[in-house]
Structure 1
Amino acid sequence: MAIQIRMIRPEDAASFLQLCHQLDQETRFMLLEPGERTQTVEQQRRQLEELQANQAIFVAVDGDRLIGYVSATGAHFRRIRHKAYLVAGILQAYTGQGIGTRLFQAVEAWARQRGLHRLELTVMTHNAAGIALYTKQGFVIEGTARHSCIVDGHYVDEYYMAKLLDEANERT
């Protein structure tokens, strides 16, 4: 069966939580450490039911299993309503198969449909695979946040990366 990319649904709550727990375990590039995620399935379901118009989560599905996602969170305030912050995660067994590209294409289409102008994210500076994916999708490094995270007892820097969706209409 082919990997499907689609919007998340409230009934995906348990599978999504399981995906996030597995990502917390198998990679040091996600924000939360193993065991730090305390949300229940019911809390996750409510959160998915309450997604706002400026929020989206796209999931990659293999059969009945969620194997990756990208989330977009936009702002409500007028001065920053034109942008969304992205978070992505793909299970290691599924990396390098074009799934990240497809997830980012889906979220970009969603953003364009809503008239967003800027997508942004952060990535640990030693996450070569993540940086390669984001660069391939048109994101550029705008700066470095020094000692932004602590991973395994060591300070880690992060890049701020962004993509402007319609540079022809840039405002000053």
Structure 2
Amino acid sequence: MNIRHIRLEDAEQFTHLLVSIDSSNMMLFDPGERKTSIEQEEQRIEKILLQSNSTIIVSEEEDRLVGYVMVLGGTTTRNQHSARIVTGVVEEHRGKGVAEKMLKEAFRWAKEVGVTRLGLTMIKHNEKAYKLYKKLGFEVEGERVHSLMVNGKPINELYLYKLLS
């Protein structure tokens, strides 16, 4: 498994990766809801790579992207030290340490570029993700009650953060 930062030429594979991970029912998008194109993802990757406090870290196995951690840094003077993260791993690679390795690279990279706070939201009942984030030092910051509707049922989201020193 190779952990690295995304490149523009990854746009097609990254697009397929996003759509595949959406089918987990643990992401913001419902399965099949994401409407994006390779060109749109290429533009997004390009924009992210131009921001000094943003990146996408990917996990690659046998020339196939199997996971990502998107680090989206703040764009104003007051919040450029802070970044939101989004993590996704394809189903057949979950539970194998892929997310942990990508997150550790995100921590290393963030410190290097001056990001000192990482935040994320997650579906409350995603126990595996919660255990991983707690293990890696994230703390619960709050809970949004009934903030999402999944399969017609209200779901709570947790807000987590990690301070990097």
Residue of structure 2 in register with 1:58 after alignment: 57
1:153-172 Cα shifts (integer Å, max 9, x gaps): 11100111000112xxxxxx
**Percent of matched pairs sharing the same residue:** 38
Distance 2:25 2:64 in 1: 22
Aligned length in residues? 163
5 Å-filtered alignment, 1:6-155, equals 6-25=4-23, 27-51=24-48, 52-155=51-154
Give 4+ residue runs of structure 1 displaced > 2 Å after superposition.
none
Q: Where in structure 1 are there 5+ consecutive unaligned residues? A: 167-172
Distance 1:115 1:104 in 2: 16
Residue of structure 2 in register with 1:170 after alignment: none
1:53-73 Cα shifts (integer Å, max 9, x gaps): 221000000111100000010
Distance 2:44 2:18 in 1: 14
Question: How far 1:50 sits from its partner (Å)?
Answer: 2.1
Question: How far 1:35 sits from its partner (Å)?
Answer: 2.0
Larger Rg: 1
Question: How far 1:78 sits from its partner (Å)?
Answer: 1.6
Distance 1:122 1:150 in 2: 15
SS at match of 2:103: helix
Q: Which moved more, 1:38-47 or 1:98-107?
A: 38-47
SS at match of 1:80: coil
1:69-90 Cα shifts (integer Å, max 9, x gaps): 0001011212212110000000
Question: How far 1:98 sits from its partner (Å)?
Answer: 1.0
| TM-score with structure 1 setting the length | 0.92
Distance 1:5 1:104 in 2: 10
SS at match of 2:115: coil
